[in-house]
Structure 1
Amino acid sequence: MSETTRYDVVVIGGGPAGSTLAGLLAKRGRSVLVLERESFPRYHIGESLVTGMIPVMEELGVVDELEARFQRKTGINLVWGKDPQPWRTDFSATGGVYDHSWHVKRDEFDQMLLDNARKLGATVLEQAHVNDIVQDADGTVTGVVYTHGGTKKRASAAYTVDASGQNRVVTRKLTEVTFQEDLRNVAVWTYFKRFTPLEAPDDILVEAIDGGGWMWGIPLSETELSLGYVLPASQLAEAAAQGRSRTDVFLEGLAGSRIARTMVDPSDAGEMRTARDWSHVSERFYGRGWVAVGDAACFIDPLFSSGVWLGTSGAWMASRALDAVLDEPGAEDQALGRFNDTYQQLYSDILAYVRFFMDPNRLREEYMERAQGVGRMYVENSRVGFISLISGIKALPELVSFDPMGVEGIQEAMQDRAARTEAAKAAAAAPVG
């Protein structure tokens, strides 16, 4: 094994959460190593972004590139609830400062964020496989062992960040995970080169399907539509046992739609893809020497396109908490505990609303009232900011001054730092011998 290299933070995974955290910490002058097991660009599902992540993208300095490269997303068309008529939510009507987000091709989007982390100063190694995490005698994570270029290497760090997605390199070993049994879903999707756009052509389509499940329709460009069917995993397994293919299942879902089926010719469907969509949450998002963000920490059914937002928002908060703790190691439980509690609260509230919305038999007004109720709750307690769960999740950074240590914590840290400084001065001035 080659010589150990030392960093402030090692990040396992170069997806949106890992690249965001690495870029933000590197921007603050921290030494960061990103270990990505694949070679980018690599295919990944999840093409629709919500407005709530724009402030983080602004801080990373990539908004102009997003605007130049990707299709705008201005709202959501929903076919849901007792009302048979589609209903639309326009981002410009939410009262926020952002009237659009983007539909992105994730291979290009993820490559953009990883390249940006490099530009901001992070060391990024692709095709780097993490073999194991390293722990000291008391269980504190002190780094990783990884293989890159055929050579096994070791990197040590004050903190190791698990941003490895569903692989959960750290959380699988050091904490428990809870799966939401009612949201053990799978997604079957494909792409259409020809399609009839919605009346508002930049919108995403979210449609409940007769017989169960729901479909998305995302216009990536004027000549490419992503169309997917999300259904219970048990339903897909039953179909397989009956000899029906995933193409059969997708076309059955499409036939049960009212709007999606009018957008495409089924014979134009491309290659069918599948992915499990199991909502889960880790018991803890941090421990001694480690932090988890993105899908390694938690994942929720993508009904509201919250995946990338949740991952990058978690990374944004974690970067602030880690930056504080690297200066004040004694404040770990306070700063990372606040990150953990806020991130867990975000997950819980989105999960509760997704479950509420999964009942397709309510009135439109009930869904809106619940979303507005969530908004009032956030504004009143100033915990994590207003979330508009129908029209897109509004800006966490804009609405919350996330201080990982709190005012009292900062005062205590300053006093501790002053005391240590005085002690060091006294020791230096003391006579030797």
Structure 2
Amino acid sequence: MHDVLIVGAGPAGSTAANLLAQAGVRAVTLDRDVFPRFHIGESLLPIDLPIFARLGVAMDRTRWQYKQGAEFIDERTGEYAFFSFADGLDGTPAHAWQVDRAAFDKMLADVAVSRGADIRFRERVTDIAIADDHVRVTSDRGEHRARFLLDCTGQDAMLGRGARTIAPLHELGRAAVFCHFDDLAPDVRQELGDQGNIKVLIVEDGWHWLIPMHGGRLSVGLVKWRGKLDDDAFEAALAASPLCRRLTAGARRSDTRTIRNWSYKNTRPSGPRWACVGDACAFLDPVFSSGVSLAMLGAERTVDALVPALAAGREGAADLMAPVHASMEVAYVSFEQLIRRFYHTRMVSHLFFARTPDPMLRKGLISMLAGDVWRDDNPFQDMLRGSRVQPQRVTTPNE
């Protein structure tokens, strides 16, 4: 009998495994893959820096691309804006990192193991059963029992999809088509590497990402919230962008990949003896790079609630994770509202590209872009709360 079973060893699972091991909790983590394995989502946020320190994760320029901020570009109008994280509200961390997710996720898992975590790869979970006094997980290698279960299965969202509680968030990004470019021209490598900023190119009904990475790689993707999105649409968008053509000229290109079924919430993210964490709980359009950060921070908050509950024998309480979900909902709602304004209002023109923006609103926007959303002195975030862009009603698919 373990204390905790974790399904999935990505950023959420490895963070939980690391912190549980540090707390002396008997936990085992199962993942169907072997790391490193490919994953998209390469742009991190400054709000990650404190959790990196707590995990014992060392980030430096010899392995990862330093990220100073974010650039927003509309090539149709010539408008441009640069936001340096260092210009946010007081206390907002001043930089972030761009990472190769295969190497980054393996590093998180390796650090967790070095802290005492038990992570087992190439073990596929086939069934989960929740009883009154324990949880049982069946895998292709055998059976495991524990006092509590964490679903960290990412967008597979094993519990949510099994219970049909995954509800789409309409009018946000619904898919992405992307590839990588290697062996960039030396002048391009220097240009991109100096600041390491993510570049967001605004296009009709969507946006491009351009993410410089360590070693001269450039990740390029296209996200749209409506309209046709396939390989042909991606090729057309690349050809139509002078910046994309210039930065990738002569570079070696990877195969094109597509990911769909983005933007959703799990309408029942926890229950007695179980909780969903990270993308298994919710996933938003990645325009503001919130996925990895919210996964790791959600795991941290979940573990901080779970450890004392295990010690007191209260881990079976149905409302154990209610404070965690309330805390994470602040971030999910804030980012969802920011994304909806990005797509469906004039916010980009009026604030992002404003010649003389309100200085405090701009600082508040930068802190939000940094993921620093759990504070009560951000006038921009207060504005989002006070005038929400209403989505369609979120329901479970079987309602």
TM-score under structure 1 normalisation?
0.77
User: Share of identical aligned residues, percent?
Assistant: 30
Looking at structure 2, the residues matched to 335 and 301 of structure 1 have their Cα atoms a distance apart, in angstroms, of: 28
Q: Secondary structure at the match of 1:259?
A: helix
1:316 pairs with one of 273, 279, 300: 300
Partner of 2:321: 336
> Quick one: which amino acid aligns to residue 284 of structure 2?
I
Which of 155, 158, 166 is 1:166 aligned to?
A: 155
Using a 3 Å threshold, how does the CA distance of structure 1 residues 184 and 116 change in structure 2: closer, same or farther? same
SS of aligned partner of 1:183: coil
Measured after TM superposition, the shift of residue 267 of structure 1 is 7.5
- Across the aligned residues of Structure 1 and Structure 2, the Cα RMSD in angstroms comes to 2.9
Check conservation: 2:33, 2:121, Cα contact below 8 A. yes
> Mapping of 1:32-111 within 5 angstroms?
32-62=27-57, 64-80=58-74, 84-94=78-88, 95-96=90-91, 98-111=93-106
In the alignment, does 2:139 pair up with 1:146? yes
Q: CA deviation at 1:27?
A: 0.6
Matches within 5 A, 1:274-313: 274-276=258-260, 278-313=262-297
Q: Supply the AA of the counterpart residue of 2:28.
A: L
Of stretches 332-341 and 49-58 in structure 1, the one that deviates more from structure 2 is: 332-341
1:112 lines up with 2:107 in the alignment: yes
Structure 2 vs 1, CA of residues 61 and 68 (structure 1 numbering), >3 Å: closer, same or farther?
farther
Q: Which residue number corresponds to residue 417 of structure 1? A: none
Report 1:360-399 matches (<5 A).
361-367=346-352, 388-390=367-369, 392-394=370-372
Given the alignment, which residue of 244, 250, 253 partners 2:234? 250
User: Is the contact between residue 17 and residue 163 of structure 1 (CA under 8 Å) also seen in structure 2?
Assistant: yes
Q: Compared with structure 1, are the counterparts of its residues 272 and 360 closer, same or farther at alpha carbon in structure 2 (3 Å cutoff)?
A: farther
Match of 1:242 in 2: none
Contact 2:28 2:119 in 1 (8 A): yes
Structure 1 residues 42 and 222, CA gap change in structure 2 (3 angstroms): closer
The 3 A distance-change label for structure 1 pair 363 and 272 is closer
Q: Which runs of 5+ in 2 are unaligned?
A: 378-399
Q: Which moved more, 1:64-73 or 1:307-316?
A: 64-73
1:274 is displaced (CA, Å) by: 1.2
Residue of structure 2 equivalent to 1:20 = 15
Amino acid at match of 2:287: L
CA distance in 2, matches of 1:173, 1:370: 47
* C-alpha distance after superposition, 1:13-35 (max 9, x if no partner): 00000100111111111011000
- Identify the residue that residue 272 of structure 1 maps to in structure 2: 256
The answer for unaligned runs of 5 or more in structure 1 is: 1-5, 240-245, 377-385, 400-433
What is the TM-score with the length of structure 2 in the denominator?
0.83
Alignment-mate amino acid for residue 155 of structure 1: H
2 CA distance for matches of 1:29 and 1:372? 44
Separation of aligned partners in 2, 1:267 and 1:105 = 18
Q: 1:250 is matched by which residue type in structure 2?
A: F
Aligned to 2:124: 129
Shift of 1:321: 0.9
Cα displacement (A) at 1:251? 2.0
**Alpha carbons of structure 1 residues 198 and 184: separation in structure 2 relative to 1, 3 Å:** closer
Paired amino acid for 2:236: E
